[in-house]
A and B are shown apart, each in its own frame.
Chain A
Amino acid sequence: MTTVANRLPREFRPSRVHTGFDVEKVRRDFPILAQRVRGKKLVYLDNAATSQKPQVVIDAISRYYEEGNANIHRGVHYLSEHATEEHEAARKTVQNFVNAAQAHEIIFVRGATEGINLVAQTYGRAHVNAGDEVLITAMEHHSNIVPWQILGEEKGARLRVAPINDRGELLLDEFEKLLNPRTRMVGVTHVSNALGTVNPISRIVQLAHGHNIPVLVDGAQAVPHTQVDVQALDVDFYVFSGHKVYAPTGIGVLYGKTALLEAMPPYQGGGDMISSVTFEKTSYNKLPYKFEAGTPHVAGAIGLGTAIEYLNGLGIANMAAFEHEVLEYATEAISAVPGIRLIGTAAQKAGVLSFVLEGIHPHDVGTILDQEGIAIRTGHHCAQPLMQRFGIPATARASFALYNTKEEADALVAGIQKVREVFA
């Protein structure tokens, strides 16, 4: 018997009802949503690629450049001091958001991709040797595959892949069997960007820790939809991208446990990451600065802090319950369309509705929906091995955010009907 994760991980269990989540009011916070595209009302359902930004985030970034711009950690002057404070306040906000034990466990990076590469190139290079293994799952984004392959090529290490079932759920028994004395690292996505599957992270971490193997979790698609508690999950590393959670591009987060981060060599060398430099020897700065070489994306960090405060204001549990309701509604509505096959039908899902239409290529679906003002993504979603697993070249993917409504789900279904008419 193969067990699948059929209980909703605690952090994703929606409260039964959302109280006072006023989606129309929320929509007014996002100026871009009022736009018309191709003469139609914009229906933005490409949130897994990137989310739109609320006015408060846009304003925070403008205000920084209008009133607060300075380099940080370096100046004795007023503006520099103030910019440094704001940057570090954003770090505190992220710390509280994911419930990290310490602010210095929050490393600002460019995004999930850079976070994973950082871990592979520092922790990975220090601990993975010839004959060792890194274990991932069949539903990883290329960003949680390729960095480990690069490391494996350099070190002569092997990438192992835990399989999934036809619903797109991780086979935990198979995963467990793949853990062995050569496994040095587990890398797993919290939520699949192509399927929407929510993985049972606590259980995965328990199993890996049973073998003393650290776990890196790719939270790029989880953080926008749920409250993450890195201490409760007991993950060793957790990464996410700001731009998928209503913040700007170019800013993201690597969380790591202090002891691991302390022991890791630096990633990039340069300014800010040192405590003293001579031509003979350099000693590195303390956490988190050891991993933040060069002038960081100050405006991005401030934007991320503001986005998180915005979410906190709405209530994340409230938001998650509302999103869950819309996704269920959309799933049901789309399932009624003749010729639809949903790709990713896990018991526990968040944010994503991936599908194929019989006899019609996803690319054609995307073009026709676009003419209706509906933005979706078509293609392999940076998960080519996953597409191979399902025997398809691509899917059409509608992905939802906190501002998407049931009416928009209806518009999607009407758009798909139009696709069928064109191809009738």
Chain B
Amino acid sequence: MSDLRELYQDVILEHSKAPRNYRELPLANHKAEGYNPLCGDHFTLYVDLDGDRVRDISFQGSGCAISKASASMLTQMVKGKTKAEAQELFDKFLQLVKGEGNGNQAELGKLAVFSGVCEFPVRVKCATLVWHTLRAALEGKQQAVSTE
């Protein structure tokens, strides 16, 4: 049960039940879709980019607790950041969920609650789906992002 509690930390469960910034963003000038065809997760990410900076960001869609909480917390963390800062956060987040980091979770802030994911390799895709989607949105990619 301990690994499970590491994975499903209260913060994650809470975000999955009451996701933040869960709405459409009428003013979004960037948008991307992300799919995980294996489990049917499907999210749309809306980004309102002011020059190089994320002025507002939101999402909608359905998925497992991990992917939904990740989306919810992403929107909180990325708001106000520049593209480069968002990318840097993504890189660190990837290291964390793959268990490859240097153990320094300070820069990740509350995203550190995803540290339990590295014990569940098949769930890494759930945690990172929306981050890949963010990158696609920022790059203005038209095609939907897929984990496969």
Contact = CB atoms under 8 A, between A and B. Distances in A.
Interface of A: 359-364, 367-368, 371, 378-380, 384, 387, 393-394, 422-423
Interface in B2-25: 3-4, 7-8, 13, 17
Contacts of A393: 39-42, 62-63
Contacts of A384: 40
Contact of B40 (A359, A367, A387): A387
A385 to B, nearest CB: 12
Contacts of B42: 393
B65 A360 contact: yes
Nearest to A359: B17
A269 to B, nearest CB: 33
Given A360-B65, A361-B64, A423-B13, A368 B4 contact: yes
Contact of A378 (B4, B39, B65, B120): B39
A361 B4 contact: no
A367 B41 contact: no
19 contacts: A361-B39, A361-B63, A362-B39, A364-B8, A364-B66, A367-B7, A367-B120, A368-B8, A371-B1, A379-B38, A379-B39, A379-B40, A393-B39, A393-B42, A394-B39, A394-B40, A423-B8, A423-B13, A423-B65
Given A359-B17, A361-B64, A422 B41 contact: no
A229 B62 CA distance: 44
B126 to A, nearest CB: 7
A371 B13 CA distance: 18
Contacts of B68: 361
Given A371-B1, A371-B4, A422-B4, A363 B39 contact: yes
A335 to B, nearest CB: 24
B34 to A, nearest CB: 13
Given A368-B8, A380-B39, A422-B8, 13 more contacts: A363-B41, A363-B66, A363-B126, A367-B4, A367-B7, A367-B122, A368-B4, A379-B38, A387-B40, A393-B40, A393-B41, A393-B62, A422-B4
A369 to B, nearest CB: 11
Q: Which of B1, B3, B39 has its CB near the most chain A CB atoms (within 10 A)?
A: B39
B123 interface: yes
Interface in B97-137: 120, 122-123, 126
A361 B42 CA distance: 12
Contacts of B123: 363, 367
A361 to B, nearest CB: 4
Q: Which of B4, B13, B41 has its CB near the most chain A CB atoms (within 10 A)?
A: B4
Nearest to A422: B8
Nearest to B126: A363
B10 to A, nearest CB: 11
A362 to B, nearest CB: 7
A206 B63 CA distance: 43
Contacts of A378: 39
Nearest to B120: A367
A387 B42 CA distance: 14
A368 B66 CA distance: 13
A367 B66 CA distance: 11
Q: Which of B7, B40, B42, B68 has its CB near the most chain A CB atoms (within 10 A)?
A: B40
Interface string B38-70: 111110000000000000000000111110100
Nearest to B65: A364
Given A379-B40, A380-B40, A393-B39, A361 B65 contact: yes
Q: Which of A361, A378, A380, A393 has its CB near the most chain B CB atoms (within 10 A)?
A: A361
A327 B68 CA distance: 33
A379 B122 CA distance: 13
Contacts of B122: 367
Contacts of B39: 361-363, 378-380, 393-394
Closest 3 CB pairs of A and B: A393-B40, A361-B64, A363-B64
Nearest to B2: A371
A118 B117 CA distance: 42
Nearest to B123: A367
